[in-house]
Copies of this chain bind each other. A is one copy, B any other.
Amino acid sequence: MQHIKLNKSDEIMTELAEHNTDISKELAQGFVDSLYYQVKLTEKCCKMLAKQLEEKLEMEITLDELTALGTINLHNGQIHQRDLAQMLLKDRANTGRMLNVLESKDLIEKKEQTKNKRQANIITVTPKGHETLNRLTSVIKPMFDDVQRKMTIEEIGYIKNGLKKLRQIMKDTLEIHI
């Protein structure tokens, strides 16, 4: 079993493109070094970290489900499934499936109500849901703090705002139907 060097790509970025010069150094570098690639790699790391966190802390729900629960809580009783799907950038099908999981664990309730004179499942967090959200969030927060302690507030802000802006820009080019 071999442990990975996460910066393996980064290292070699410095000793670049001497071999095949038919693609210019700048072009090749810009490619592997593109935002697309960087975001993708980082997301994979986050995914792995989340999984290990879930096991280590023996969480009863996924970190993604917890994020969904937190998002619901911010708009408690004011959103239905499709709203949530749009926020999570998930399709309606999987959003529904995830909500079924949360409902089966008594963390949320789907109340059939009319939103804009149209029948829809308004979602609310149950008391048990609040308890779980509070508890798990409190447990996880130190982990996030631990990561963030190694970066300055400015750096974190730059990344967050940068990513938001990037999404905003992509939105203009993008056609999203959820």
Contacts and interface: CB of A to CB of B under 8 A. Distances in A.
B170 A23 contact: no
Contact of A33 (B23, B63, B141, B160): B160
**Contact-residue bracket for chain A:** 35 or more
A152 to B, nearest CB: 10
Q: Main SS of chain A's interface residues?
A: helix
Interface stretch (A83-91, A98-106, A107-115): A83-91
A74 interface: yes
Contacts of A158: 155, 158-159, 162
Identical copies of this chain, number: 2
A147 B163 contact: no
Contacts of A93: none
Given A9-B71, A27-B141, A2 B35 contact: no
Given A31-B67, A35-B148, A39-B43, 9 more contacts: A4-B178, A8-B83, A16-B74, A23-B130, A27-B138, A39-B46, A40-B67, A41-B89, A150-B169
Interface of A: 1-10, 12-13, 16-17, 19-20, 22-23, 27-28, 30-46, 48-50, 52, 63-64, 66-67, 70-71, 73-77, 82-83, 86-89, 125, 130, 133-134, 137-138, 141, 143-144, 146-148, 150-151, 155-156, 158-160, 162-171, 173-178
